[in-house]
Amino acid sequence: VNASDAISVMATALNSNVRGGTMPQLTATEAAAQENQRVMGILTCQEAKGREQLATMLAGQQGMSVEQARAILAAAAPQQPVASTQSEADRIMACEEANGREQLAATLAAMPEMTVEKARPILAASPQADAGPSLRDQIMALDEAKGAEAQAEQLAACPGMTVESARAVLAAGSGKAEPVSASTTALFERIMANHSPAAVQGGVPQTSADGDADVKMLMAMP
């Protein structure tokens, strides 16, 4: 190869590069269009519905074709159940029965397959956190109940019992009450006699008037 031949070959190569100078620009434009088509094809395919997060991740991977992405999306579990579970949890926390029972509502909302229909009766049957201590707790917490827990339990189980009534009974039993007058003692003995087994006659029902009179006498006790 002589010098003239070498120059000729170099000139031909240079001319070829000049003539092909627009090819890289055309290739970049086409590549951008193809890339945009690929991304949109993945994001808008039927399999991407309900799996948008996974579709976005697949579209961001270079070299991932639409066909490959569709196959992966079709095999993946849809996101709807997760969103539905979260929505159901929100419904449980927002239901009226959850007011004052937020801790229990949160526990129920975290349970799999728990629905608001199942949670509402459970919440309704549970005491509210802000409802305050129960009557039993208030009676058992009395100073007069110390050392007389068994009697306090019995009083707490009596229908219509109040804290003040229980306090008076417990105080009388523990000797902490004020001295009882003779009239009060006689009145109490009369009430106890009316309700003792000996005072109950067979076949003779106790009238409500007797019960009302007893209540009035109890209320009259100092």
Higher-confidence position of 38 and 83: 38
Domain ranges in the chain?
3-75, 80-131, 135-193+210-220
What integer pLDDT is reported at residue 45 of this predicted model?
Answer: 93
Q: Tell me the whole-structure pTM to 2 decimals.
A: 0.29
pLDDT tens figures, 123-149: 888 877 655 677 888 889 998 888 888
- C-alpha torsion sign, points 58, 64, 69, 75: negative
**φ, ψ (nearest 5 deg) of residue 214:** -65, -40
**Residue 177 to residue 172: CA distance in whole angstroms:** 5
For the cut 60, the answer to whether the pLDDT of residue 65 exceeds it is: yes
- C-alpha torsion sign, points 196, 197, 199, 201: positive
Are 199 and 183 in contact by the 8 Å Cβ rule? The answer is: no
> Using CB atoms within 10 A of its CB, is residue 199 exposed (0-12), middle (13-18) or buried (19+)?
exposed
- C-alpha torsion sign, points 11, 12, 18, 21: negative
Q: Which residue shows structure tokens 């539905």?
A: 84
Reduced to 3 states, what is the DSSP secondary structure of residue 30? helix
- C-alpha torsion sign, points 70, 73, 78, 79: negative
For the cut 80, the answer to whether the pLDDT of residue 188 exceeds it is: no
What integer pLDDT is reported at residue 155 of this predicted model?
Answer: 86
Maximum average pLDDT range among 76-80, 84-88, 139-143, 195-199: 139-143
Are 50 and 78 in contact by the 8 Å Cβ rule? The answer is: yes
What integer pLDDT is reported at residue 1 of this predicted model?
Answer: 45
